[in-house]
Structure 1
Amino acid sequence: MALILTFLGKGGTGRTTVAIAAAKQLSSFGQRVLLVEQDPGPALEILLGASIGPDPQEIGANLQAVQLQTTLLLERSWEDVKRLEAQYLRSPTLKNVYGQELGVLPGMDSALALNAIREYENSGKYDVIIYDGSGDQATLRMLGMPEILSWYFRRFRQVFIDSDLGKAISPFIQPVTSAILNVSWTGDNLAQQPTNEANQLLDKGKSAIADPNRVASYLVTNEDAAAIATAKYLWGGAQQIGLTVGGVILNQASVIDTLAAEFVPLAVSALPKQSAPGDWEPLMDALPDFKQAVQAPRPISIDTGNRQVRLFLPSFDKKQVKLTQYGPEVTIEAGDQRRNVLLPPSLSGQPVKGAKFQDGYLTISF
């Protein structure tokens, strides 16, 4: 399994420079590294001094790079969709729609990038995958996609089963699916069977995001007040999707002690200014040990013995955090993000008895 690293921060703070330095540092340690660039612009090629294509290519010892092209990813994914349709339908309907003619809709970039990263990780070719994305709320929504989609599947599957429509068509499902599809479903599994494979995929994604040994992020900022505020905001937002923030990288800053106090308890690493294009050694030497992300505060912990759920929500105050409960789950809203916490069996269905927000932690008691 590869370690997936990404960097969060305001535009202009040097996230791409940090990503390149990290890729070069880790590859120099003998690890097989893939640098994944989301931005189709020329910045990465200029910084690397190499031509980068839509498929991984060697740019150094143990180091490959790829520049994602959404149109090409969409075309390839469409072929997978058609294969999936042919697996279930005896008379596929999408065979005459071609990936080469599909346009890119908002949100496709993130979904396709996440799938590409998953495929690179599954290939077993890499020890580390560094994703250089937008580094903002869009990146957080992308990495939070497995948990959000699994909630939608779970919630609306039950809504369908309980609806009048679901109850009305239930007697007809088995004969219809036998006649049209290659499988035989009943009313009990109609809403579940087609999404089993997707749910398994999403569960793997959620497990990966929750494990800092597999996925971790680092904040990148400089001395600019807006950059610091943005980094703190993204820190709190990352916790809402279960993503561990391993530390802070202070780029081209001379005063570290004052800024370090803004991000307690995270470790802060200061990077010097690049003296000349292509001089990566000083930056590589100043980077943190990315394996130490496991020591950072975990976004969520569940203590069934004390009947408590504890969430780490730094950079927010009490007024910015909202807690609601619907059925077996609790919903936490903060930083324009909502997180639905699926409770373990011992707490599921139990009403919230109290909640306290103190020192960046929300403690919910049942």
Structure 2
Amino acid sequence: MLFPSSDNESPFEDTPRILLFTGKGGTGKTTCAAATAQRAAREGHKTLVLSSDPAHSLADALDHELGPEAQEVSDGLFAQEVDLYYSMEKHWGNMRDLMLTVFRWQGVDQIAAEELAALPGMNEGSVLLWLEEALREADYDLIVVDSAPTGETLTLLSLPQVTQWWLANAFPFQKTAVKSLGFGVRKTTGIPLDKGYEELEVIFEKLERVQTVLATPATTSIRLVMNPEKMVIEEARRAYTYLQLYGYGVDSVIVNRVLPEDQVPDNSFFEGYVQSQREYLAEIERSFQPLPILQVPHLGEEVFGSERLARIGETMYADRSPVDVFYDASTLKVREDGDAYVLELRLSFAAPEDLSVHQLGDQLVVQVANQRSNYILPNFLNYYTMTEATLQDEWLHVRFTPDPESSSN
């Protein structure tokens, strides 16, 4: 990601508030996202809830038929389920034509070519492009993203950074040369290489603008949804670490489907579950503090439709407004230390044995387990060398000292 700056300005005018819900599959992300959007709309905020999960269930939660474009569900509430192939035609037209032409040129039949044209990452990219369109049109006060499970969410949020690297490294030579070569290829083979490259440039610029907004805690907050269960909590911990690694602001934890203890009689079938739930709730409090912990009780019935969503929204937020920022402390900062600088990055739950840090030119590469992030360092650190990286009290401290060769010049 680009190195965060306290004076980052949004590339969009009148940027709306953005809330992104993520967590392990089956924890109730869609329910919490839909309940949040409905509550915000009833408070008077014009709201769009956008489902990025390929296994859509937003329409079921809202009990309203939805399509690939935003449509009004109730007063002030709009909803949309992103469809990959519809999005490809709208946002990736030239790229789609390029891929279809290449596959047909190689003898692939039409149906197989249509499937193969949906490249990895296009669904996540489509979600960001719809988000960019909503931001650019500035028609909403709040955008709620009902994200796919944790792994896909990390792919979604890291896509702008990956595409920046890909464009710079896949086409390191002059853009005009690429376009000239592509024009020649199109004229001789019919493959629209130049048109595809031009579209990629536009798409990557849009993704970069969206990433700036997503990485601004005052605008965008991520809310982790979990259940009081061991495997779910472990995945949430990993997600929290990786989100901090990528520089995104998590403002709260939502614990969904909490079984009310006062409604479980002694010696009942659920007594053991209630006991373990009590222990896991305490563990969640310890693990994720100082983040606010919002509890949502199990309603004892399937949740769909406006009435039940309203009950979820009421218990989840009580006297709070869902559009508020619940926690916005910085997860990355730089401080002076004598003639050196220390970069500090918050990495909750990261283990030292899973951590790898090294400087690569003007970038700092930080890897935790199988997740990696490249931080573009401030220009002045080009004259400094990373000499030490330590993990203490959930903070990674990376020390940069003056480059001896630069100092002698």
Q: What TM-score, normalized to structure 1?
A: 0.80
Report the counterpart of residue 297 of structure 1 in structure 2.
Answer: 329
Please say if 1:77 is aligned against 2:91: yes
Report the counterpart of residue 354 of structure 2 in structure 1.
Answer: 320
Within-5 A mapping of 1:228-247: 228-247=233-252
Question: Structure 1: which 5+ runs fail to align?
Answer: 86-92, 182-192
Question: Structure 2: which 5+ runs fail to align?
Answer: 1-14, 186-196, 261-277, 401-409
Deviation at 1:275, TM superposition (A): 5.0
Deviation at 1:317, TM superposition (A): 1.4
Report the counterpart of residue 298 of structure 2 in structure 1.
Answer: 273
Query: Is contact 1:233–1:335 with CA below 8 Å preserved after alignment?
Result: no
Distance 1:353 1:115, change over 3 A: same
Query: Is contact 1:57–1:65 with CA below 8 Å preserved after alignment?
Result: yes
Distance 1:324 1:43, change over 3 A: same
- Alignment match of 1:37 (pick from 47, 51, 54): 51
Query: Is contact 2:35–2:309 with CA below 8 Å preserved after alignment?
Result: yes
Please say if 1:102 is aligned against 2:114: yes
Report the counterpart of residue 262 of structure 1 in structure 2.
Answer: 287
One-letter code aligned to 1:239: Q
One-letter code aligned to 2:330: R
Please say if 1:286 is aligned against 2:315: yes
Report the counterpart of residue 31 of structure 2 in structure 1.
Answer: 17
Query: Is contact 1:266–1:296 with CA below 8 Å preserved after alignment?
Result: no
One-letter code aligned to 2:284: L
Deviation at 1:240, TM superposition (A): 2.0
Deviation at 1:298, TM superposition (A): 2.7
Distance in 1, matches of 2:170 and 2:385, equals 22
Distance in 1, matches of 2:53 and 2:152, equals 13
Deviation at 1:80, TM superposition (A): 5.8
Within-5 A mapping of 1:1-366: 1-39=15-53, 41=55, 43-79=57-93, 102-103=114-115, 104-155=118-169, 160=172, 200-253=205-258, 254=260, 255=278, 256-274=281-299, 276=301, 277=303, 278-288=307-317, 289-293=321-325, 295-303=327-335, 307-366=341-400
Deviates more, 1:340-349 or 1:283-292: 283-292
Aligned-partner SS, 1:348 = helix
Deviation at 1:266, TM superposition (A): 1.2
Distance in 2, matches of 1:246 and 1:130, equals 14
Query: Is contact 2:354–2:368 with CA below 8 Å preserved after alignment?
Result: yes
CA RMSD of aligned residues (A): 3.4
Distance 1:290 1:353, change over 3 A: farther
Deviation at 1:68, TM superposition (A): 1.3
Aligned-partner SS, 1:298 = coil
Deviation per residue, 1:4-58 (Å, 9 max, x gap): 2111211111111111111111111111111112345563323222111111111
Aligned-partner SS, 1:279 = helix
Distance 1:105 1:82, change over 3 A: closer
Number of residue pairs the alignment of both structures matches? 336
Consecutive aligned runs of 4 or more in structure 1 exceeding 6 Å deviation: 96-99, 193-196
Deviation at 1:334, TM superposition (A): 0.8
